[in-house]
Each structure stands twice: as structure tokens, then as C-alpha cells.
Amino acid sequence: MLENVKTTPLSAYGEFGLIELLTKNIQIKNKSTVLGVGDDAAIINTEGRHQVIAKDMLIEGVHFDISYCPLKHLGYKAIAVNLSDVAAMNAHPEQVLVGIAASSRYTVEAIEELYKGIYLCCNRYGVDLVGGDTCSSVSGLQISVTVIGYAEPQQIVRRNTAKTNDLICVSGDLGAAYLGLLILEREKKVFMQNPKNQPELEGFDYLIERQLKPEPRLDIIDNLRKKNILPNSMIDISDGLASEILHICKNSKKGCAIFEDKLPIDTLAYNTAMDFKLIPSTVALNGGEDYELLFTIDQKHYDAIRQVEDVSIIGYITDENEGCNFISNDKKSIPLNAQGWDAYLKKTTTK
């Protein structure tokens, strides 16, 4: 976790001493934060806006592998994936609460390193850390994050309000995070067989960063508002594009058509998928952990959405009786299935 650093056991500080150490430099950034860390509860002023709240957990051995996930990156990711949930509601995050359970093999310095990543992400996106909890764990590290966001009532977007003939749009590119995970897992196996071997990661920086340090697409929310585009439905891509569009369709009682030749796949991701003998479009559909935004818009916004940077139109919403279909490059219509977590990642240690 930390090499060549004098370490301090957590017991040297105790629970309250550790909290004081980790939170002593907090500076409040949002006027909605009336009171943050330091009392039994934080105080939030909603000022008539709708408040959206999301929670996620990261469990060692399930969602991350500490052997190749730096603690600073892990702290950043723990916040980022929660901010993404708020962005998926077309809202802006302003506060987070963080709960940490750590076993005795973690030191004060290790937890401080984790919090460096937490604060880095909070500062980058203007979010206040207003509370949380720390406790001991009998096995590894667990991180629980609750995020609070806000939006005007008329700006909230849900996943159950897609309309027939909506354009289906996605931000960024797809599949890179999963391929970054494959590379990290491959190099871990090589290292386990011979610890003298150094990992061969050169040239894969983009893929590895997409896995270890995802970014919530709050910029897309801002850019849509600048173009006066209010999505009809939206969700973030944590479990894979196929899984998420099926959520939208099921909740909205609609079907969809997704086109293979419209899927945004980075060139490095495409070539790496081929090296792993994987179909790039399958990775894009099912890889997961992209944390991009998947949303539907009225066709009247077609010209405007084409002017929004880093957004691709990948299909359209259909009537429910037409089903959810993937249109391949050779024009075959294939029923869309969600594989994501079960099919792709059940043998790995991260989601």
C-alpha cells in the first residue's frame, strides 16, 4: 500500500483522533452546506430545490483489488462513481458522506492516502465532505459513500420517461474501463507466477486510467443545459451499455434499436479487445464501469445534440412490442441481452 514510509497503527489515533486528522482541513464550498463535520449530523439547506441522494459501496475483494489499485486512486473513484449517479438524475452533487471500515493491516498513513484521493475528487467537482463514520473491519477495507445533489424540480430526469422515437445518446467512449481491468488482471497473474517480473503497462495508460480513475460526466450535464436540451430519460453506465438501456426500456415500457456502427469505441480499446480475442462491440455493450451517461432526447434536438462535444447518437427508442434489438454491421437484428456483471466480471475481483 505504502512503501518506504514510517507507518502508524490506527490504534495510535483511535476513532475520534483519526476523524479529526482526516477532516481538519475541510473548507466548505457550497452555500447549501450549513454545517458539515463536527456534530451529530450535517445541516443542509435545500432552498426549495429537489434533493437527490445516492449511495454506493466498494468492498475489497469484490469491487477492487488493492494489489494493483493505488489507495489515492481508490479514494477518488469511490467519490466519482457516486457523483455519476447524481449526474444521471440531471442534478449537481454538493455534499458527500464517507464511511470507512478498515482492518488492522491498514495504517494511519494508508487511510490518509485514501483520503487524499477523496479530497482530490471532492475539490475537483466542488463537493463538500460533510460527515461519515470510521470503524474496524475483520477483513480488508470497505468504503461506503452517500452523495447529496440538487436540481430544480423541472430539471430532474428519471429512467422511466423515455418516449417512442427518442434518439438514444451516450457520452464518451465505451469498453475501455473493462479492458483496463483485463490488463491489470493479466499483469497480476504474471507477477504472482514470478514476482521478479515487472508489469508491462506501457501504452495502456488510457485504459488503466478509465478503470482506476473514472470521471463523472458533470460536464455533459452542463453542456446539455447550455443547448437547452432536457433529456427525456437518463442513466449512468456502471454495469454496461446493454444493461443500462434495458433498464431504461423496462422502466419506460419501451423497446430500442442500438446500432453497432454507431458505438463509440476508442482506437486503443478496439485494438486491445482484438488482442484479447474479444469482439470490440461486445466489450462496449457489456464491459461496464465506463460511468458515461446514457440518455434519450426528443428528435427535435438532433441538430443541437450534434453540437455537444463528446456525445454520440447510437440508436432510437421504439414501441415496447418491437423489443430491444442490436443492429449489427451486417444489418442483422439481434435481441439485446445484458451480460455485464455476470458474464464478464464474475471471475474478476472488481465490478
At 32, list the grid cell.
447549501
Which pTM value belongs to this model? 0.87
Q: Are residues 66 and 2 in contact, defined by beta-carbon separation less than 8 angstroms? A: no
pLDDT tens digits for range 171-199: 999 999 999 999 999 999 988 888 777 77
Is the predicted pLDDT of residue 22 greater than 80, yes or no? no
DSSP state of 38: T
145 pairs with which residues across the strands?
56, 98
Domain 167-345 in the same topology as domain 10-155: no
Q: Top-level CATH class of 10-155?
A: alpha beta
pLDDT tens digits for range 336-345: 988 754 433 4
Domain ranges of the chain: 10-155, 167-345
CATH number of 167-345: 3.90.650.10
What percentage of the chain has pLDDT greater than the value 70?
Answer: 89
Give me the mean pLDDT over the 140-158 stretch: 93
Q: Are residues 139 and 103 in contact, defined by beta-carbon separation less than 8 angstroms? A: yes
Is the predicted pLDDT of residue 107 greater than 70, yes or no? yes
